[in-house]
């Protein structure tokens, strides 16, 4: 119930944000739903459905604007995994430390339930995970770049990778 509620709240907020900025789309709303699902997952066994609504709604706002920032800054990240799963996942882990309650799971409580130390534990975990992911990705990218390169040439990119790499046209 919590997972569904968090995903639904994020989908709704994402749709409203995209409506505010341009026109809402089914793809955008589905992306919001995915953000909500990814975000509420760390908290799903520890929070109430009402907290899941708050977590999903905030996740949609954070991820939506992270995606807009990525587009404006020209960061090369085509699937928006960083904005959706990275930002959303970080918020979800921290939100667990805020909203966890013994009413749902006797194993732990969060800030609102009287345990402010849990928020710091969650923040430390997010920072450690982010550092590990960055370092591992950096090392793997350097190895791949040394072996076969990370980018195609400008000519291949301009004619399209479907034609340049596969000798066929995928879209008309």
pLDDT in 10s for each residue of the chain, 172 residues? 999 999 999 999 999 999 999 888 999 999 999 999 999 998 999 999 999 999 999 999 999 999 999 989 988 787 888 999 999 999 999 999 999 999 888 888 999 999 999 999 999 999 999 999 999 999 999 999 999 988 888 888 888 888 888 888 877 6
Residue-level length of the chain: 172
Quote the DSSP letter at residue 83: I
Position 43 in a domain = yes
Position 137 in a domain = yes
Position 171 in a domain = no
Position 131 in a domain = yes
Position 142 in a domain = yes
C-alpha angle 78-8-11 in degrees, rounded to nearest 5: 35
The CATH number linked to 127 is 1.10.3430.10
Q: Do residues 44 and 89 touch, judged by C-beta distance below 8 A? A: no
Position 172 in a domain = no
Alpha-carbon span 109 to 116, nearest angstrom = 9
Going by C-alpha positions, the residue among 36, 42, 43 that lies closest to residue 63 is 36
Position 84 in a domain = yes
Alpha-carbon span 104 to 41, nearest angstrom = 15
Domain holding 64, by residue range, is 2-166
Position 28 in a domain = yes
Q: Number of folded domains in the chain?
A: 1
Alpha-carbon span 67 to 82, nearest angstrom = 8
pLDDT value for 146: 95
């Amino acid at each position: 119930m919590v997972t569904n509620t968090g995903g639904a709240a994020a989908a709704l907020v994402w749709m409203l944000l995209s409506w505010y900025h341009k026109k809402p789309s089914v793809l955008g709303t589905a992306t919001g739903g995915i953000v909500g699902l990814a975000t509420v997952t760390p908290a799903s066994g520890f929070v109430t459905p009402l907290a899941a609504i708050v977590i999903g709604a905030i996740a949609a706002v954070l991820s939506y604007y992270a995606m807009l920032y990525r587009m404006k800054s020209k960061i090369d990240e085509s699937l928006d995994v960083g904005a959706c799963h990275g930002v959303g996942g970080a918020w979800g882990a921290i939100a667990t430390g805020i909203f966890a309650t013994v009413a749902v799971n006797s194993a732990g409580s969060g800030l609102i339930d009287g345990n402010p130390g849990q928020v710091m534990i969650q923040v430390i975990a997010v920072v450690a995970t982010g550092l590990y992911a960055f370092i591992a990705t950096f090392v793997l990218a350097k190895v791949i770049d040394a072996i076969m390169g990370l980018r195609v040439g400008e000519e291949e990119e301009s004619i399209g990778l479907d034609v340049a790499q596969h000798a066929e046209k995928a879209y008309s």
